[in-house]
Chains A and B, each alone.
Chain A
Amino acid sequence: QKEVEQDPGPLSVPEGAIVSLNCTYSNSAFQYFMWYRQYSRKGPELLMYTYSSGNKEDGRFTAQVDKSSKYISLFIRDSQPSDSATYLCAMSGKTSGSRLTFGEGTQLTVNP
């Protein structure tokens, strides 16, 4: 069983929709949670960084972490065609050091 599970999609939505992306994990030692965006196999770009449980908002993006359920989410409001990319969740913790463990990524397409 993978430490981090993420639905690979693909996910297709119309422009302006609210997008919800999710990951579950099994390692309770994970403390740091990140979302990266990757365009066409280019370098992953950091979108959101969250420590422990709670919500964090940055513009159209909101990250949520629920450590009790081992579940993290990324919400994208007013989605744009430029948001079309693969979204990767990543996490790290005390026992794993600072190495990142990634989900396999969700491929998102926002249609104009």
Chain B
Amino acid sequence: DSGVTQTPKHLITATGQRVTLRCSPRSGDLSVYWYQQSLDQGLQFLIQYYNGEERAKGNILERFSAQQFPDLHSELNLSSLELGDSALYFCASSVALADTQYFGPGTRLTVL
């Protein structure tokens, strides 16, 4: 158990819908990262927050957004969902900006 928690474990929804994925970092970690893992793309970096502020963006779609709240938990919002958004979404956290990242168990999103 890495200490990073993610909810829900599974999400099944329809195209065009909007979902919110939630992540709680390890106690004491200030930085949160979101990654997407699909069968054909591997693990891809989406976005990073540090102490409430956005610090880095990867190839995150405009339909996706995220935020980190004052209690340091983070939410990833996915809207106008498409079939191709079906994937595992992982959150990771680290103490500081360039420290070791520890991953949560992931949320499996299925878009029908």
A97 touches B55 (CB 8 A): yes
Binding site secondary structure of chain A: strand
In the complex, whether B102 has a CB less than 8 A from a CB of chain A is: yes
Chain A neighbourhood of B37, CB < 8 A: 41
Count A-side interface residues using an 8 Å CB cutoff: 22
Across the interface, name the chain B residue whose C-beta is closest to A99: B45
Q: Name the contact of B42 in the complex, choosing from A45, A46, A99, A104 (C-beta under 8 A).
A: A104
Instruction: Kindly state the separation between the CA atoms of A76 and B98 in the bound complex, as whole angstroms.
Output: 27
Q: Name the contact of A49 in the complex, choosing from B4, B55, B100, B105 (C-beta under 8 A).
A: B100
Instruction: Kindly state the separation between the CA atoms of A7 and B58 in the bound complex, as whole angstroms.
Output: 24
Instruction: Kindly state the separation between the CA atoms of A88 and B94 in the bound complex, as whole angstroms.
Output: 18
Chain B neighbourhood of A98, CB < 8 A: 31, 33, 48, 56, 94, 97-99, 101
In the complex, whether B106 has a CB less than 8 A from a CB of chain A is: yes
In the complex, whether A109 has a CB less than 8 A from a CB of chain B is: no
Q: Name the contact of A102 in the complex, choosing from B42, B56, B94 (C-beta under 8 A).
A: B42
In the complex, whether B104 has a CB less than 8 A from a CB of chain A is: yes
What range describes how many residues of B lie at the interface? 20 to 34
Contact with B along A64-79 (1 / 0, CB 8 A): 0000000000000000
> A49-B100, A99-B48, A100-B101 known; A43 and B2 CB under 8 Å?
yes
B104 touches A99 (CB 8 A): no
B3 to chain A, nearest CB (A): 11
Instruction: Kindly state the separation between the CA atoms of A42 and B41 in the bound complex, as whole angstroms.
Output: 16
B90 touches A97 (CB 8 A): no
A39 to chain B, nearest CB (A): 11
Instruction: Kindly state the separation between the CA atoms of A36 and B33 in the bound complex, as whole angstroms.
Output: 16
Q: Identify the B interface with A (CB < 8 A).
A: 2, 4, 31, 33, 35, 37, 42-45, 48, 55-56, 58, 88, 90, 92, 94, 97-106, 108
Q: Identify the A interface with B (CB < 8 A).
A: 32, 34, 36, 41-46, 49, 88, 90, 92, 97-105
